[in-house]
Structure 1
Amino acid sequence: MVTTLAAGRTRAREIAGTVVDPEMPMLTLVDLGVLRDVTESEVGVSVTITPTYSGCPAMATMRDDLVHALSDAGYAEVEVKVSLSPAWSSDWITAEGRRKLRAHGLSAPGPSPTGPVQLSLAPVRRAIDCPRCGSADVRLTSEFGPTACKALYQCNDCLEPFEHVKEI
């Protein structure tokens, strides 16, 4: 077990920082920007995470993975809190996270919309490049990918399909 509180905070944060997103395992929760806080008390460790969107089905797995990682490291009491405010934004994905997305063939989100978002039933127009060849000549094939936070595209130059992480 950790001998000093200061060392525990650092160690607990490092351990929590190794937990990966279950839907995009190339990203840690730090890369994704959902790991908000890690604090240790005399009783145990408390971790705060923010869902990428309300009802995100990956939250339960993130919570369980955090509890297991910290318990396995010797923390007897692990509490995972969910904070909904401020709401997560795709702008919270780190530069390293964006690099990892591209390296795995996913298109990283652009800047999130600011102000009121216009509701439209037409396909969303995004200025994105193919993560494989860099071409901007891409087309949307489906607004909904394997998860609600991704859209499916195909490059018109290299013809490769790819997923785009949506701006939120």
Structure 2
Amino acid sequence: MVTTDRTTRTTAEAQSAQTPLEAELRRLAGSVPDPELPALNLTELGVLRAVHTLGPGRVEVELSPTYTGCPAIETMAADIEQILHEHGVPDVTVRPVLDPAWTTDDITPEGRRKLREFGIAPPRTTHEPTGPVPVTLGPTRHAPQLPPVACPHCGSTETELLSRFSSTACKALRRCLSCREPFDHFKELR
């Protein structure tokens, strides 16, 4: 969902309502590589929410951080401003958007493929079911079981958690029990 001043629209609806200029500016802004995961651009990461032209030479870009306090958001904003300045937009404002919050479900299929190729296990999807949800009653309440994390090197699901945190707070360090290679896992965020 993309929140605007007057209405709430889905990202697809917001993109279809774009002018050709806004679509081109969105393509440019979305092509900026993520500073912590340079294999992905901001579109593939799913953090670029919208681009609005506010008048001649004035653009506002809506950007969601991957988590509150993410240190990369300032670099992302500066890189967006730079690329749009280079393409003739003198007045660029990048506005952080916290609602709706970014989740790992926002990573595109292309982004997930690139994470695997980069040697990082992509997050598991956490989409909620879109129909009736069967309810079973039992003696205790358990969180839903997520599928195992597959090794980006050999594909085995026989992996173990080594550390809940890796090179960045959004990744965990895991090891494959089949090929014995360590790898980062981009943690799910709901």
Q: Same fold (TM over 0.5)?
A: yes
Matches within 5 A, 1:8-87: 8-43=21-56, 44-87=58-101
Say which SS state the counterpart of residue 110 (structure 2) adopts. Answer: helix
Distance in 2 between residues matched to 1:23 and 1:102, nearest whole Å: 15
Identity %: 45
Match of residue 156 from structure 2: 135
Which one of the candidate residues 137, 146, 158 is aligned to 2:179? 158
**Considering only aligned residues, what root-mean-square deviation do their CA atoms show, in Å?**
2.0
What is the aligned residue count?
157
In the TM superposition, what is the alpha-carbon distance from 1:126 to its structure 2 partner?
6.1
Amino acid at match of 1:148: A
Structure 1 distance, partners of 2:95, 2:156, is 41
Report the Cα distance in structure 1 between the residues aligned to 2:173 and 2:147, rounded to whole angstroms: 12
Task: Provide the secondary structure at the position in 2 that maps to 1:41.
Answer: strand
CA contact (8 A) 1:52 1:88 kept: yes
Q: Any idea what the Cα deviations from partners look like across 1:51-94, whole Å, max 9, x if unmatched?
A: 11000000000000000010111101000001101111100000
Query: Aligned to 2:38, what secondary structure does the other structure show?
Result: coil
Deviation at residue 125 of structure 1 after TM alignment: 7.6
Mapped to 1, the partners of 2:91 and 2:185 lie a distance apart of 38
Question: 1:31, 1:41 → 2: CA distance?
Answer: 25
Residues of 2 paired with 1:138 and 1:6: CA distance? 47
| TM superposition shift of 1:10 | 2.4
Q: What residue number does 1:121 align with?
A: none
Q: Provide the rounded CA distance (Å) in 1 between the counterparts of 2:19 and 2:45.
A: 25
Equivalent position amino acid for 1:31 in 2: E
Structure 1 CA distance, aligned partners of 2:46 and 2:23?
18
C-alpha distance in 1 between matches for 2:98 and 2:186: 20
Q: Distance in 1 between matches of 2:156 and 2:73?
A: 34
C-alpha distance in structure 2 between counterparts of 1:97 and 1:135, whole Å: 20
